[in-house]
Structure 1
């Protein structure tokens, strides 16, 4: 009798889960972006969620909550009910936070389940419009000659621009004076205004300014040149052999979200990454969507774990920690 009761209970739970997945979504879905509005991650989120809205038949609303290197918004998403109605769209900073922060209100390795990778975004080394060097060779000479007098802007500890800057300074064996901002927007504003000199940021945020002449471009952080900026050399071809940094974005759900719901979201994401409107806009920003084979829960789960392992020694060697 006891076994029959357990079996009946299991059947009811399975039926309820399946029924919830079949009816999902039945209301608005909130997508947490733990960075300021108008930044690179916000841009990716709004393009993808607009397409997913059409596929799922319910509105996906982007909600920005920046601060503390993205940990505030991420913590809030981790505490949400695992019912598929609160998601997290984050990037490499989720992986780096595992080593950067001594205490977190979530576990980067276990608090979320992957829905799928979205993009691998190239980065560019850029400078203020009136910066004296005109090419990457001259910039490297300028940085080495002036050392800590050169100001390098980034969007906060653990941000993509911060991580790229750490690797760049390590590659050239020079430490610049770093200026930390609360988001990419304020950092780029000061670069445009000439208050800081150099920055490494995603093409999502730099291509428009480069093409308008508002900032100088020096190099791409990819192994191959960018189709959107074909005349821009790579750091690899400019003497920093092997230098490569791309910033991935991924869509996550809180741990415990039913697998059927995750799969439905993954299918909608895969559709979005093939949407001609999304592909065209991504191309204008120098972004390529990942293949459908990579936009899956299993691939993102594996990728997150490998990225946590990748950034741990980099951060430990730099001796950078945040409270």
Structure 2
């Protein structure tokens, strides 16, 4: 169950037998022209990939798995076998980029997957993009190459958002707000000159833990950090307990989770993962730049969906609140 209204782009264009023959014969351009003649929109390079789905096998599936992993999704090993984990990763990717969530990697989904390499994935930092225009301001709703450059820089330094698609949506806004919190800037999610200056020069956030896998919740800065062996993998914007409901500091473990909506006495919790009594990490439609919850750690619904799909917070995962 999701709290977001459905906003789907047109479905992937199905391949006809004739189109498959054209592609196999090396006539990719002719296939694209034929598709345009039917009114379908086929992204550039789409004709170089076959449509793959549950049960498919081969090098194209292995390529898909590698690119999904590089983009922060978890399709399992790049073994060339399109199983349930790969399908789940495709669905997550489709949902993050407003495609129909059918788990089938056709032309439109391939166009997004091909672009994931430039977005980083928590591993090696990708090549830095060119400098954005000095003095420019980027905000929610903006589109274009400057937004994509910003997104690449954010993911390269571990600030999570759903993908470098050139669209300044909610998760990009949340990532910018996390940067602003770490560096003591105005917490508005707008990337103006001061924020852009920080984005150009920043490194990865330094965590407190030094070994093992730990989720760190920093109350002063209102961020959540996913850490592996002392290295920050992802930083998420969060909102913890407000006055009278302060989130207690301490060291805990996740002991309970609900894969769906929890209608609690104090509000709705999307896909909560409990670590201290009734206090949980959970999705919400409101994650402001200040403490606003009744003790829980709020994340965007997209962020908690990613945390579930990537297996970042299983039962038993350590949580440090400080």
Q: TM-score range by the shorter chain?
A: under 0.3
Q: Which has the higher helix share?
A: 1
Higher relative contact order, structure no. (Cα contacts within 8 Å, ≥ 6 residues apart): 1
TM-score (norm 1): 0.26
**TM-score of the aligned structures, taking structure 2 as reference length:** 0.26
